[in-house]
Amino acid sequence: MKCSKCGNEELKIESTKTEASGILTRRRTCLNCGEKMHTMELPPRAVKYCLSLIKRWEATLVTPYALRQRQQEIGTVKAKELIAKGLTVDVIALETGLTVAKISRIELEQRRLRRKELRKALLTAKPLDELSAQFNVPVSILENMKSKLTKKKPAPVLAIGYSPVDQEMEEDE
């Protein structure tokens, strides 16, 4: 142990007191400068407990990576809200701090999800007028999409014929 004032390692123990919890409190005096100080020594059990508390506390700390991830999640949610309002990509980038490329990916994903929802809705029995109002799409486009979705595709035709080997076998017979 060193003196907190001059750094000298020669300290004299003036008194020692033991508490019920096992903590030793000592009053020390520096032999070089005369500085007086108190020290506390924890029993090994208490040291283990304190270390476990420190480990638990460290586990709750937010790392820079986790913080960046959280900011991106918040930015993504905010970007989705702003896209729904019809703001431009540049304005959304300024508002959220996300890159234009990231915002473009979010927009593309939202368009895909919207198209998927629209296709599902077209296959239901809902009137096209309601769907037009819900998805803000003209009825003519909805009619076109519905006809494409409900149109039955012809079954593939299998061509049956003879191979050159089969023809040679028939000639030999």
Please tell me the distance from the alpha carbon of residue 91 to that of residue 172, in angstroms, as a whole number.
80
pLDDT of residue 62: 72
Cβ atoms of 75 and 96 within 8 Å: the answer is yes
Per-chain mean pLDDT for the chain: 83
Q: What residues make up the domain containing 90?
A: 64-150
Task: Give pLDDT tens digits for 93-109.
Answer: 888 888 888 888 989 99
Q: What is the pTM for the complete model shown?
A: 0.45
Is pLDDT larger for residue 141 or for residue 157?
141
pLDDT of residue 64: 80
pLDDT of residue 14: 92
Task: Assess whether 71 and 143 both reside in one domain.
Answer: yes
Task: Give pLDDT tens digits for 49-67.
Answer: 888 888 888 777 777 887 8
Task: Assess whether 35 and 89 both reside in one domain.
Answer: no
Task: Assess whether 70 and 144 both reside in one domain.
Answer: yes
Inside any domain, residue 53: yes
Please tell me the distance from the alpha carbon of residue 80 to that of residue 52, in angstroms, as a whole number.
42
pLDDT of residue 27: 93
Split into its structural domains, the chain has a count of 2
Inside any domain, residue 29: yes
pLDDT of residue 172: 54
Task: Assess whether 73 and 135 both reside in one domain.
Answer: yes
The structure tokens listed for 160 are: 């049956």
